[in-house]
Amino acid sequence: MAAVEAFDAVDLIRAKRDRRELTSAEIEWLVEAYTRGYVADEQMSAMTMAIFLNGMSRREIRDLTMAMIASGERMDFSGLGKPTSDKHSTGGVGDKITLPLMPLVATFGVAVPQLSGRGLGHTGGTLDKLESIPGWRAEITNDEMFAQLRDVGGVICAAGAGLAPADKKLYALRDITGTVEAIPLIASSIMSKKIAEGTSALVLDVKFGSGAFLQDIERSRELARTMVELGEDAGVATSALLTNMNVPLGRTIGNANEVRESVEVLAGGGPADVRELTIALAREMLALAGRDGEDVEGALDDGRAMDTWRRAIAAQGGDPDAELPVAREHHVVTADRDGVLVEQHALPFGIAAWRLGAGRARKQDPVQHAAGIELHAKPGDEVRVGQPLFTLSADEPERFARALEAVEGAWRIGDAGEPVQDGGPLIADRIGR
Residues taking part in catalysis: 88, 167, 174, 189, 193
CA dist 315 and 167 (Å) reads 29
Longest dimension (CA), the chain: 80
Amino acid at 23: T
Identify which of 190, 193, 166 has the alpha carbon closest to the alpha carbon of residue 68: 166
Q: At what angle do helices 58-70 and 183-197 cross, to 10 degrees?
A: 40
3-class secondary-structure state, position 209 = coil
- Cα gap 156→140, rounded to integer Å: 10
Measured between alpha carbons, how far is 366 from 179 in angstroms, rounded to an integer?
25
Of 22, 8, 91, 18, which Cα lies nearest the Cα of 62? 22
Residues 6+ apart with CB under 8 A from 99: 126, 129, 130, 156, 258, 259, 262, 309
CA–CA distance, 235 with 232 (Å, rounded to integer): 5
Q: Could you tell me which residues are beta bridge partners of residue 412?
A: 343
